[in-house]
Amino acid sequence: MSTAGSEQTLALLLDDNLMSAVRVQRQLQEAGYQVTIARAVPPPGEVAAARRLIDSAAPSVILINLGSRGLQGVSLIGSCRERYPDARLVGFCGHLEIEIRRAAKAAGIDRILTNEQVLAQLQQYL
């Protein structure tokens, strides 16, 4: 996990892909966020582990790599919503991953971006 600064707004990035996590983290930091990255994700249904992802203040935004097969991001939406009810949940995946997009919407995600949008223009959508 990594953090920067102490007076910034918090963001939680749930992503097990190092390449995308670094690019998204940089954009979040440029937008003024203190970023925590979680690469090890608890199995579906293990809410207690998801609650330990951030120990201090609650994030104002949570970004989830929905397209990661290992992360199973859609299953984390409920846990994130329960633990951080005031956080804005933003997911991202490929534009052709229709079933993942549908499942994320059904699970209550606030916004879904394409990989291209989140990797190149994230600040525009925050």
- β-pairing verdict for 33-38 and 111-114: unpaired
Residue 58: per-residue pLDDT: 80
Task: Give CA–CA dist 12/17, Å, rounded.
Answer: 14
Q: Provide the CATH number for the domain formed by 9-125 in this structure.
A: 3.40.50.2300
Residue 48: per-residue pLDDT: 47
Task: Give CA–CA dist 105/33, Å, rounded.
Answer: 25
pLDDT tens figures, 62-112: 999 999 888 888 989 998 888 889 999 999 999 899 999 999 999 999 999
